[in-house]
Amino acid sequence: MSNSTFDADDVTLEQVREYVWEIPQEGDMRAPARVLASEALLEEITEDKTLAQIKNTTHLPGITNYAICMPDGHQGYGFPVGGVGALDAENGCISPGAVGYDINCGVRMMRTNLTYDELQGQEEELVESLFANIPSGLGGGGIVEAGIDDVDEILARGVDWALENGHAVEEDLLHCEDEGMREGADPDKVSQKAKDRGKNQIGSLGSGNHFLEVQRVTDVFDDEVGAAYGLEEDQIVVLIHCGSRGLGHQTCNDYLRKIEQQHQGLLNQLPDKELAAAPAGSQLAADYYAAMNAAINFAWVNRQLIMHRTRQVFERVFGRSWEEMDMHLLYDVAHNIAKKETHTVDGEERELYVHRKGATRAFPAGHPEVPKAYRDVGQPVIIPGSMGAGSYVLRGGENSMDLTFGSTAHGAGRLMSRTQAKNEFWGGDVQQQLEEQDRIYVKAQSGATVAEEAPGVYKDVDEVVRVSDELGIGDKVARTFPVCNIKG
Q: Reduced to 3 DSSP states, what percent helix, strand and coil does the chain have, rounded to the nearest 5? A: 40, 25, 35
The answer to whether 297 is annotated as binding is no
Report the distance separating Cα 178 and Cα 300, nearest Å: 10
Concatenated DSSP letters of 426-488: -HHHHHHHHHHHH--EEEES-HHHHHHT-GGGB--HHHHHHHHHHHTSEEEEEEEEEEEEEE-
The answer to whether 413 is annotated as binding is yes
Say what angle helices 245-262 and 283-318 make with each other, to 10 degrees: 170
The answer to whether 28 is annotated as binding is no
Strand order in the sheet with 20-23: 5-8, 11-17, 20-23, 33-36, 67-74, 81-88, 348-357, 337-345
The answer to whether 79 is annotated as binding is no
The answer to whether 210 is annotated as binding is yes
The answer to whether 385 is annotated as binding is yes
The answer to whether 167 is annotated as binding is no
The answer to whether 468 is annotated as binding is no
Q: Which of 175, 263, 328, 410 is catalytic?
A: 410
Concatenated DSSP letters of 376-398: TT--EEEE---TTS-EEEEEE-T
The answer to whether 268 is annotated as binding is no
Do residues 379 and 367 touch, judged by C-beta distance below 8 A?
yes
User: What residues are paired with 171 via a beta bridge?
Assistant: none
Do residues 247 and 30 touch, judged by C-beta distance below 8 A?
no
CB count within 10 Å of CB 346 equals 7
The answer to whether 335 is annotated as binding is yes
The answer to whether 102 is annotated as binding is yes
The answer to whether 26 is annotated as binding is no
343 in catalytic set: no
Strands 67-74 and 441-444: unpaired
Nearest to 104 by CA among 366, 459, 390, 360: 360
The answer to whether 355 is annotated as binding is no
The answer to whether 384 is annotated as binding is yes
Report the distance separating Cα 485 and Cα 453, nearest Å: 12
The answer to whether 367 is annotated as binding is no
The answer to whether 51 is annotated as binding is no
Binding region for GMP: 209-213, 335-336, 384-387, 391, 410-413, 487
Binding residue numbers: 102, 209-213, 241, 335-336, 384-387, 391, 410-413, 487
Catalytically active residues are 410
Binding-site members for Mn(2+) are 102, 210, 241, 335
